[in-house]
Amino acid sequence: MALLKQSRLLRQLASLYACSPGATATGALFQQARPYSILPDTTVYTGPTAPSPKRVTLRTLRQKYKNGEPITMVTAYDYPSAVHVDTAGIDILLVGDSVAMVVHGHDTTLPVTVDEMLLHCKAVSRGARRPFLLGDLPFGAYETCPEDAVRSAVRFLKEGTMDAVKMEGASKARVAAVAAVVDAGVAVMGHVGLTPQAISVLGGFKPQGQTARQAIRIIREAKALQEAGCFALLLECLPAQVAAAVTSEIDIPTIGIGAGPHVSGQVLVYHDLLGMMSHPHHAKVTPKFCRQYAQVGAVIQDALQAYRDDVGSGAFPSTQFSPYKIPEAELDSLTKQLQESGFSKAADAVAETDS
Ligand SMILES: Nc1nc(=O)c2c([nH]1)NC[C@@H]1CN(c3ccc(C(=O)N[C@@H](CCC(=O)O)C(=O)O)cc3)CN21
Ligand SMILES: CC(C)C(=O)C(=O)O
Ligand SMILES: [Mg+2]
Protein backbone atom coordinates (compact mmCIF):
# COMPACT_ATOMS: atom_id res chain seq x y z
CA MET A 1 0.00 0.00 0.00
CA ALA A 2 2.88 2.34 0.75
CA LEU A 3 4.02 1.86 -2.82
CA LEU A 4 0.56 2.58 -4.16
CA LYS A 5 0.47 5.83 -2.20
CA GLN A 6 3.81 6.93 -3.56
CA SER A 7 3.21 6.27 -7.22
CA ARG A 8 0.87 8.51 -9.16
CA LEU A 9 0.75 6.07 -12.03
CA LEU A 10 -0.13 3.14 -9.79
CA ARG A 11 -2.74 5.27 -8.05
CA GLN A 12 -4.31 6.06 -11.40
CA LEU A 13 -4.27 2.39 -12.30
CA ALA A 14 -5.88 1.48 -9.00
CA SER A 15 -8.61 4.06 -9.50
CA LEU A 16 -9.23 2.80 -13.02
CA TYR A 17 -9.78 -0.76 -11.84
CA ALA A 18 -11.83 0.45 -8.88
CA CYS A 19 -14.23 1.97 -11.40
CA SER A 20 -14.51 -0.98 -13.73
CA PRO A 21 -17.21 -3.07 -11.97
CA GLY A 22 -19.89 -0.68 -13.23
CA ALA A 23 -18.82 -1.13 -16.83
CA THR A 24 -20.25 -3.61 -19.32
CA ALA A 25 -18.39 -6.84 -20.02
CA THR A 26 -17.02 -5.42 -23.28
CA GLY A 27 -16.18 -2.12 -21.61
CA ALA A 28 -14.19 -3.88 -18.91
CA LEU A 29 -12.27 -5.78 -21.55
CA PHE A 30 -11.35 -2.59 -23.35
CA GLN A 31 -10.32 -0.97 -20.07
CA GLN A 32 -7.91 -3.78 -19.38
CA ALA A 33 -6.51 -3.45 -22.85
CA ARG A 34 -5.29 0.11 -22.29
CA PRO A 35 -5.19 1.32 -18.72
CA TYR A 36 -2.16 3.58 -19.10
CA SER A 37 -3.44 6.92 -20.45
CA ILE A 38 -1.68 9.69 -18.60
CA LEU A 39 -3.98 12.62 -19.19
CA PRO A 40 -3.86 15.50 -16.70
CA ASP A 41 -5.64 14.56 -13.47
CA THR A 42 -8.14 17.36 -14.00
CA THR A 43 -9.24 15.88 -17.32
CA VAL A 44 -9.75 12.30 -16.31
CA TYR A 45 -8.88 11.42 -12.74
CA THR A 46 -10.08 13.67 -9.96
CA GLY A 47 -9.76 11.06 -7.24
CA PRO A 48 -10.06 7.36 -6.62
CA THR A 49 -13.86 7.45 -6.73
CA ALA A 50 -14.20 9.61 -9.84
CA PRO A 51 -16.10 7.84 -12.60
CA SER A 52 -13.93 6.95 -15.56
CA PRO A 53 -15.13 8.44 -18.86
CA LYS A 54 -17.50 6.11 -20.62
CA ARG A 55 -15.69 4.24 -23.32
CA VAL A 56 -17.12 3.99 -26.78
CA THR A 57 -17.68 0.28 -27.39
CA LEU A 58 -19.23 -1.74 -30.20
CA ARG A 59 -22.44 -1.54 -28.23
CA THR A 60 -22.28 2.29 -28.11
CA LEU A 61 -21.75 2.39 -31.87
CA ARG A 62 -24.66 0.01 -32.54
CA GLN A 63 -26.89 2.12 -30.31
CA LYS A 64 -25.98 5.32 -32.16
CA TYR A 65 -26.63 3.60 -35.48
CA LYS A 66 -30.01 2.31 -34.30
CA ASN A 67 -30.96 5.78 -33.05
CA GLY A 68 -29.93 7.37 -36.35
CA GLU A 69 -27.24 9.49 -34.64
CA PRO A 70 -24.25 10.19 -36.91
CA ILE A 71 -21.04 8.42 -35.88
CA THR A 72 -17.91 10.59 -35.87
CA MET A 73 -14.47 9.28 -36.78
CA VAL A 74 -11.09 11.02 -37.16
CA THR A 75 -7.59 9.66 -37.70
CA ALA A 76 -4.74 10.20 -35.24
CA TYR A 77 -1.23 8.88 -35.36
CA ASP A 78 0.46 9.92 -32.12
CA TYR A 79 -0.09 10.81 -28.45
CA PRO A 80 -0.92 14.53 -28.79
CA SER A 81 -3.35 14.07 -31.69
CA ALA A 82 -5.01 11.20 -29.80
CA VAL A 83 -5.51 13.43 -26.74
CA HIS A 84 -7.16 16.08 -28.95
CA VAL A 85 -9.45 13.58 -30.67
CA ASP A 86 -10.42 12.07 -27.31
CA THR A 87 -11.09 15.44 -25.69
CA ALA A 88 -13.25 16.51 -28.65
CA GLY A 89 -15.60 13.58 -28.01
CA ILE A 90 -15.05 11.83 -31.36
CA ASP A 91 -16.53 8.29 -31.36
CA ILE A 92 -13.93 6.35 -33.35
CA LEU A 93 -10.23 7.08 -33.60
CA LEU A 94 -8.63 5.51 -36.66
CA VAL A 95 -4.90 4.89 -36.67
CA GLY A 96 -4.91 5.02 -40.46
CA ASP A 97 -2.29 3.72 -42.85
CA SER A 98 -2.55 7.27 -44.27
CA VAL A 99 0.17 7.84 -41.63
CA ALA A 100 2.53 6.73 -44.42
CA MET A 101 1.60 9.84 -46.41
CA VAL A 102 0.64 12.37 -43.74
CA VAL A 103 3.39 11.68 -41.20
CA HIS A 104 6.11 9.77 -43.05
CA GLY A 105 5.92 11.77 -46.28
CA HIS A 106 5.37 8.87 -48.72
CA ASP A 107 3.30 9.35 -51.88
CA THR A 108 1.08 6.33 -51.17
CA THR A 109 -0.02 4.25 -48.18
CA LEU A 110 1.86 1.18 -49.43
CA PRO A 111 5.22 1.44 -47.60
CA VAL A 112 4.00 1.47 -43.99
CA THR A 113 4.67 -1.83 -42.14
CA VAL A 114 2.82 -3.65 -39.37
CA ASP A 115 5.60 -2.80 -36.90
CA GLU A 116 5.44 0.89 -37.81
CA MET A 117 1.65 0.87 -37.51
CA LEU A 118 1.92 -0.78 -34.08
CA LEU A 119 4.28 1.96 -32.87
CA HIS A 120 1.64 4.55 -33.83
CA CYS A 121 -1.16 2.46 -32.29
CA LYS A 122 0.69 2.27 -28.96
CA ALA A 123 1.32 6.02 -28.86
CA VAL A 124 -2.31 6.74 -29.74
CA SER A 125 -3.68 4.36 -27.12
CA ARG A 126 -1.73 6.18 -24.40
CA GLY A 127 -3.52 9.39 -25.33
CA ALA A 128 -7.04 8.19 -26.09
CA ARG A 129 -9.19 6.67 -23.36
CA ARG A 130 -12.72 7.29 -24.57
CA PRO A 131 -12.84 6.70 -28.34
CA PHE A 132 -13.23 3.30 -29.96
CA LEU A 133 -9.74 2.53 -31.27
CA LEU A 134 -9.52 1.23 -34.83
CA GLY A 135 -6.26 0.20 -36.49
CA ASP A 136 -5.77 0.05 -40.26
CA LEU A 137 -4.17 -3.24 -41.33
CA PRO A 138 -1.47 -2.04 -43.76
CA PHE A 139 -0.72 -3.29 -47.28
CA GLY A 140 0.95 -6.70 -47.08
CA ALA A 141 -0.45 -7.64 -43.68
CA TYR A 142 -3.46 -9.69 -44.77
CA GLU A 143 -3.56 -10.36 -48.54
CA THR A 144 -1.44 -13.51 -48.57
CA CYS A 145 -3.80 -15.83 -46.64
CA PRO A 146 -6.39 -15.77 -43.85
CA GLU A 147 -3.73 -17.03 -41.40
CA ASP A 148 -1.57 -13.97 -42.05
CA ALA A 149 -4.63 -11.77 -41.69
CA VAL A 150 -5.44 -13.29 -38.29
CA ARG A 151 -1.81 -13.01 -37.17
CA SER A 152 -1.67 -9.32 -38.12
CA ALA A 153 -5.06 -8.51 -36.63
CA VAL A 154 -4.22 -10.25 -33.34
CA ARG A 155 -1.03 -8.17 -33.07
CA PHE A 156 -3.09 -4.98 -33.47
CA LEU A 157 -5.17 -5.91 -30.42
CA LYS A 158 -2.44 -7.58 -28.37
CA GLU A 159 0.45 -5.17 -28.99
CA GLY A 160 -1.27 -2.11 -30.47
CA THR A 161 -4.10 -2.26 -27.88
CA MET A 162 -6.66 -1.46 -30.57
CA ASP A 163 -10.34 -2.38 -30.20
CA ALA A 164 -10.77 -3.48 -33.82
CA VAL A 165 -9.10 -3.42 -37.23
CA LYS A 166 -10.02 -2.11 -40.68
CA MET A 167 -9.38 -4.16 -43.83
CA GLU A 168 -9.64 -2.92 -47.42
CA GLY A 169 -11.30 -4.75 -50.30
CA ALA A 170 -14.02 -7.31 -50.91
CA SER A 171 -12.70 -9.88 -53.38
CA LYS A 172 -13.49 -13.48 -52.48
CA ALA A 173 -10.09 -13.88 -50.83
CA ARG A 174 -10.51 -10.65 -48.83
CA VAL A 175 -13.96 -11.61 -47.62
CA ALA A 176 -12.56 -14.97 -46.48
CA ALA A 177 -9.76 -13.16 -44.63
CA VAL A 178 -12.27 -10.84 -42.95
CA ALA A 179 -14.36 -13.85 -41.86
CA ALA A 180 -11.26 -15.55 -40.43
CA VAL A 181 -10.28 -12.44 -38.48
CA VAL A 182 -13.79 -12.02 -37.06
CA ASP A 183 -13.83 -15.73 -36.20
CA ALA A 184 -10.55 -15.23 -34.31
CA GLY A 185 -12.32 -12.67 -32.14
CA VAL A 186 -11.26 -9.42 -33.75
CA ALA A 187 -13.94 -6.95 -34.84
CA VAL A 188 -13.47 -5.74 -38.41
CA MET A 189 -14.54 -2.61 -40.27
CA GLY A 190 -14.67 -3.32 -44.01
CA HIS A 191 -13.61 -0.73 -46.59
CA VAL A 192 -14.96 -0.44 -50.15
CA GLY A 193 -15.04 2.15 -52.93
CA LEU A 194 -11.61 3.74 -53.30
CA THR A 195 -9.21 1.40 -51.53
CA PRO A 196 -5.86 3.24 -51.57
CA GLN A 197 -3.86 0.04 -50.97
CA ALA A 198 -4.98 -1.04 -54.47
CA ILE A 199 -3.47 2.06 -56.12
CA SER A 200 -1.22 -0.14 -58.25
CA VAL A 201 -4.24 -1.67 -60.02
CA LEU A 202 -6.55 1.36 -59.73
CA GLY A 203 -3.97 3.68 -61.25
CA GLY A 204 -4.54 6.55 -58.84
CA PHE A 205 -6.68 7.88 -55.99
CA LYS A 206 -9.74 7.84 -58.27
CA PRO A 207 -13.38 8.01 -57.26
CA GLN A 208 -15.26 4.69 -57.64
CA GLY A 209 -18.80 3.55 -58.37
CA GLN A 210 -19.44 5.99 -61.20
CA THR A 211 -21.11 3.48 -63.50
CA ALA A 212 -24.24 1.42 -62.75
CA ARG A 213 -22.19 -1.76 -63.12
CA GLN A 214 -19.53 -0.58 -60.64
CA ALA A 215 -22.20 0.63 -58.22
CA ILE A 216 -23.98 -2.76 -58.25
CA ARG A 217 -20.63 -4.46 -57.65
CA ILE A 218 -19.95 -2.24 -54.62
CA ILE A 219 -23.40 -3.03 -53.17
CA ARG A 220 -22.70 -6.76 -53.58
CA GLU A 221 -19.29 -6.29 -51.94
CA ALA A 222 -20.89 -4.48 -49.01
CA LYS A 223 -23.39 -7.29 -48.51
CA ALA A 224 -20.62 -9.91 -48.64
CA LEU A 225 -18.57 -8.02 -46.04
CA GLN A 226 -21.61 -7.72 -43.79
CA GLU A 227 -22.16 -11.47 -44.21
CA ALA A 228 -18.50 -12.07 -43.26
CA GLY A 229 -19.18 -10.36 -39.94
CA CYS A 230 -18.00 -6.74 -40.32
CA PHE A 231 -19.39 -4.44 -37.61
CA ALA A 232 -19.29 -1.45 -39.99
CA LEU A 233 -18.19 -0.45 -43.48
CA LEU A 234 -16.08 2.41 -44.70
CA LEU A 235 -17.18 3.95 -48.02
CA GLU A 236 -14.48 6.00 -49.74
CA CYS A 237 -14.87 8.37 -52.71
CA LEU A 238 -18.30 7.34 -53.99
CA PRO A 239 -21.18 9.35 -55.47
CA ALA A 240 -23.72 10.20 -52.75
CA GLN A 241 -26.40 8.07 -54.43
CA VAL A 242 -24.23 4.98 -54.42
CA ALA A 243 -23.28 5.46 -50.75
CA ALA A 244 -26.98 5.94 -49.94
CA ALA A 245 -27.83 2.74 -51.83
CA VAL A 246 -25.18 0.76 -49.93
CA THR A 247 -26.27 2.23 -46.60
CA SER A 248 -29.92 1.33 -47.12
CA GLU A 249 -29.19 -2.19 -48.32
CA ILE A 250 -27.15 -3.29 -45.27
CA ASP A 251 -27.87 -3.17 -41.55
CA ILE A 252 -24.47 -2.23 -40.19
CA PRO A 253 -23.23 1.40 -40.01
CA THR A 254 -21.49 2.96 -43.01
CA ILE A 255 -18.77 5.56 -42.42
CA GLY A 256 -18.18 7.83 -45.40
CA ILE A 257 -15.21 9.80 -46.68
CA GLY A 258 -15.93 11.67 -49.88
CA ALA A 259 -19.18 9.65 -50.07
CA GLY A 260 -21.78 12.32 -49.38
CA PRO A 261 -24.17 12.75 -46.45
CA HIS A 262 -26.38 9.64 -46.71
CA VAL A 263 -24.20 7.40 -44.56
CA SER A 264 -24.19 6.50 -40.85
CA GLY A 265 -21.08 8.52 -40.04
CA GLN A 266 -18.15 10.51 -41.42
CA VAL A 267 -14.38 10.25 -41.22
CA LEU A 268 -11.64 12.73 -42.11
CA VAL A 269 -7.87 12.70 -41.80
CA TYR A 270 -6.72 14.75 -38.77
CA HIS A 271 -4.19 16.89 -40.65
CA ASP A 272 -6.64 17.56 -43.50
CA LEU A 273 -9.48 18.79 -41.32
CA LEU A 274 -7.16 20.95 -39.24
CA GLY A 275 -5.63 22.55 -42.33
CA MET A 276 -2.13 21.33 -41.51
CA MET A 277 -1.26 20.27 -45.04
CA SER A 278 -0.11 23.56 -46.52
CA HIS A 279 3.26 22.19 -47.61
CA PRO A 280 3.29 21.75 -51.41
CA HIS A 281 3.98 18.01 -51.10
CA HIS A 282 0.90 17.59 -48.92
CA ALA A 283 -1.27 20.03 -50.84
CA LYS A 284 -1.34 17.70 -53.81
CA VAL A 285 -2.87 14.86 -51.77
CA THR A 286 -5.32 16.92 -49.71
CA PRO A 287 -8.55 15.55 -51.16
CA LYS A 288 -11.18 17.98 -52.41
CA PHE A 289 -13.92 16.41 -50.26
CA CYS A 290 -12.13 17.62 -47.14
CA ARG A 291 -13.43 20.67 -45.32
CA GLN A 292 -10.70 22.50 -43.43
CA TYR A 293 -12.10 23.46 -40.03
CA ALA A 294 -9.02 25.49 -39.17
CA GLN A 295 -5.78 26.74 -40.69
CA VAL A 296 -3.49 25.15 -38.14
CA GLY A 297 -0.64 24.99 -40.65
CA ALA A 298 -0.68 28.81 -40.88
CA VAL A 299 -0.73 29.10 -37.07
CA ILE A 300 2.30 26.79 -36.80
CA GLN A 301 4.15 28.70 -39.53
CA ASP A 302 3.51 32.08 -37.87
CA ALA A 303 4.69 30.79 -34.49
CA LEU A 304 7.89 29.26 -35.88
CA GLN A 305 8.74 32.44 -37.79
CA ALA A 306 8.05 34.62 -34.74
CA TYR A 307 10.39 32.39 -32.70
CA ARG A 308 13.08 32.58 -35.38
CA ASP A 309 12.77 36.38 -35.46
CA ASP A 310 12.86 36.68 -31.65
CA VAL A 311 15.99 34.52 -31.36
CA GLY A 312 17.53 36.52 -34.18
CA SER A 313 16.81 39.86 -32.50
CA GLY A 314 17.61 38.66 -28.98
CA ALA A 315 14.06 39.28 -27.80
CA PHE A 316 13.93 35.65 -26.70
CA PRO A 317 14.70 34.60 -24.04
CA SER A 318 13.90 37.63 -21.91
CA THR A 319 14.32 37.49 -18.09
CA GLN A 320 10.83 36.03 -17.91
CA PHE A 321 12.06 32.91 -19.69
CA SER A 322 15.43 32.68 -17.92
CA PRO A 323 14.09 31.31 -14.65
CA TYR A 324 17.14 29.73 -12.97
CA LYS A 325 18.81 31.82 -10.25
CA ILE A 326 22.04 31.58 -8.33
CA PRO A 327 22.23 33.22 -4.86
CA GLU A 328 24.30 36.43 -4.61
CA ALA A 329 26.79 34.79 -2.19
CA GLU A 330 27.36 31.86 -4.57
CA LEU A 331 27.87 34.30 -7.42
CA ASP A 332 30.55 36.22 -5.48
CA SER A 333 32.24 32.97 -4.56
CA LEU A 334 32.06 31.77 -8.18
CA THR A 335 33.61 35.00 -9.54
CA LYS A 336 36.38 34.78 -6.97
CA GLN A 337 37.14 31.13 -7.68
CA LEU A 338 37.11 31.73 -11.44
CA GLN A 339 39.65 34.54 -11.04
CA GLU A 340 41.82 32.40 -8.76
CA SER A 341 41.72 29.53 -11.26
CA GLY A 342 42.79 31.75 -14.14
CA PHE A 343 39.39 31.72 -15.90
CA SER A 344 39.36 35.48 -16.27
CA LYS A 345 37.05 35.61 -19.30
CA ALA A 346 34.51 33.46 -17.48
CA ALA A 347 34.82 35.67 -14.40
CA ASP A 348 34.19 38.80 -16.50
CA ALA A 349 31.17 37.18 -18.16
CA VAL A 350 29.67 36.33 -14.79
CA ALA A 351 30.23 39.87 -13.53
CA GLU A 352 28.71 41.47 -16.63
CA THR A 353 25.58 39.32 -16.70
CA ASP A 354 22.53 40.49 -14.89
CA SER A 355 19.92 37.82 -14.24
N1 LIG B 1 -4.09 13.39 -46.29
C2 LIG B 1 -4.81 12.35 -46.71
N3 LIG B 1 -6.15 12.44 -46.71
C4 LIG B 1 -6.92 11.40 -47.12
O5 LIG B 1 -8.16 11.52 -47.09
C6 LIG B 1 -6.28 10.23 -47.57
C7 LIG B 1 -4.87 10.17 -47.53
N8 LIG B 1 -4.16 11.25 -47.11
N9 LIG B 1 -4.20 9.05 -47.88
C10 LIG B 1 -4.95 7.82 -48.06
C11 LIG B 1 -6.21 8.09 -48.75
C12 LIG B 1 -6.02 8.61 -50.17
N13 LIG B 1 -7.15 9.49 -50.30
C14 LIG B 1 -7.36 10.31 -51.40
C15 LIG B 1 -6.32 11.05 -51.94
C16 LIG B 1 -6.52 11.86 -53.01
C17 LIG B 1 -7.78 11.93 -53.60
C18 LIG B 1 -7.95 12.80 -54.79
O19 LIG B 1 -7.43 13.86 -54.86
N20 LIG B 1 -8.65 12.33 -55.81
C21 LIG B 1 -8.94 13.09 -57.01
C22 LIG B 1 -8.65 12.25 -58.23
C23 LIG B 1 -7.20 12.01 -58.45
C24 LIG B 1 -6.90 11.23 -59.70
O25 LIG B 1 -7.76 11.14 -60.58
O26 LIG B 1 -5.78 10.70 -59.80
C27 LIG B 1 -10.39 13.48 -57.05
O28 LIG B 1 -10.77 14.17 -57.99
O29 LIG B 1 -11.14 13.09 -56.16
C30 LIG B 1 -8.82 11.19 -53.06
C31 LIG B 1 -8.61 10.39 -51.95
C32 LIG B 1 -7.96 9.48 -49.13
N33 LIG B 1 -6.99 9.15 -48.10
C1 LIG C 1 -8.86 7.81 -45.20
C2 LIG C 1 -9.15 6.84 -44.11
C3 LIG C 1 -10.49 6.22 -44.25
C4 LIG C 1 -8.11 5.79 -44.03
O5 LIG C 1 -8.25 4.64 -44.38
C6 LIG C 1 -6.80 6.23 -43.54
O7 LIG C 1 -6.71 7.33 -42.97
O8 LIG C 1 -5.85 5.47 -43.68
MG1 LIG D 1 -6.40 3.62 -44.67
Q: Where are the domains of the chain?
A: 2-37, 58-293, 325-355
Looking at residue 287, its pLDDT comes to 85
Looking at residue 26, its pLDDT comes to 40
Looking at residue 1, its pLDDT comes to 39
Given the CA of residue 102, which atom of ligand 2 is nearest to it? 7
Looking at residue 53, its pLDDT comes to 74
Looking at residue 18, its pLDDT comes to 41
Given the CA of residue 194, which atom of ligand 1 is nearest to it? 31
Q: Is 291 in the pocket of ligand 1 (CB under 6 A)?
A: no
Q: How much distance in Å is there from the Cα of 98 to the middle of ligand 3?
A: 5
Q: How much distance in Å is there from the Cα of 199 to the middle of ligand 1?
A: 11
In the chain, which residues have pLDDT < 50?
1-36, 38-47
Does 236 qualify as catalytic in the annotation? yes
Q: Is 136 in the pocket of ligand 2 (CB under 6 A)?
A: yes
The single-letter DSSP state of residue 198 is G
Nearest to 31 by CA among 22, 40, 43, 41: 22
* Contacts with 265 (C-beta within 8 Å, 6 or more apart), sequence order: 70, 71, 72, 73, 91, 92, 253, 254, 255, 256
Tens digit of pLDDT for each residue in 182-220?
Answer: 999 999 999 999 999 999 999 999 999 999 999 999 999
Percent share of the chain, pLDDT over 90: 81
Judged by its nearest atom, the ligand closest to the C-alpha of residue 101 is: 1
Residue 132 and residue 76: Cα distance in Å, rounded? 12
The predicted model scores a pTM of 0.86
Q: How much distance in Å is there from the Cα of 30 to the middle of ligand 2?
A: 23
Q: Is 226 in the pocket of ligand 1 (CB under 6 A)?
A: no
β-pairing, 164-168 vs 92-95, is unpaired
Looking at residue 314, its pLDDT comes to 97
Catalytic option among 143, 236, 249, 328: 236
Query: Which CATH number, 3.40.50.720, 1.10.357.140, 2.60.40.1930, 3.20.20.60, labels domain 58-293?
Result: 3.20.20.60
* Contacts with 186 (C-beta within 8 Å, 6 or more apart), sequence order: 150, 153, 154, 156, 157, 164, 165
Q: Where are the alpha helices (DSSP H) in 52-113?
A: 58-67, 79-87, 99-102
Looking at residue 355, its pLDDT comes to 72
Residue 289 and residue 207: Cα distance in Å, rounded? 11
Looking at residue 34, its pLDDT comes to 46
Q: Is 96 in the pocket of ligand 2 (CB under 6 A)?
A: yes
Judged by its nearest atom, the ligand closest to the C-alpha of residue 279 is: 1
Looking at residue 89, its pLDDT comes to 97
Nearest to 75 by CA among 92, 61, 62: 92
Q: How much distance in Å is there from the Cα of 96 to the middle of ligand 2?
A: 5
Say what the ipTM of the complex is.
0.97
Q: Give the residue whose CA is nearest to atom 10 of ligand 1.
A: 98
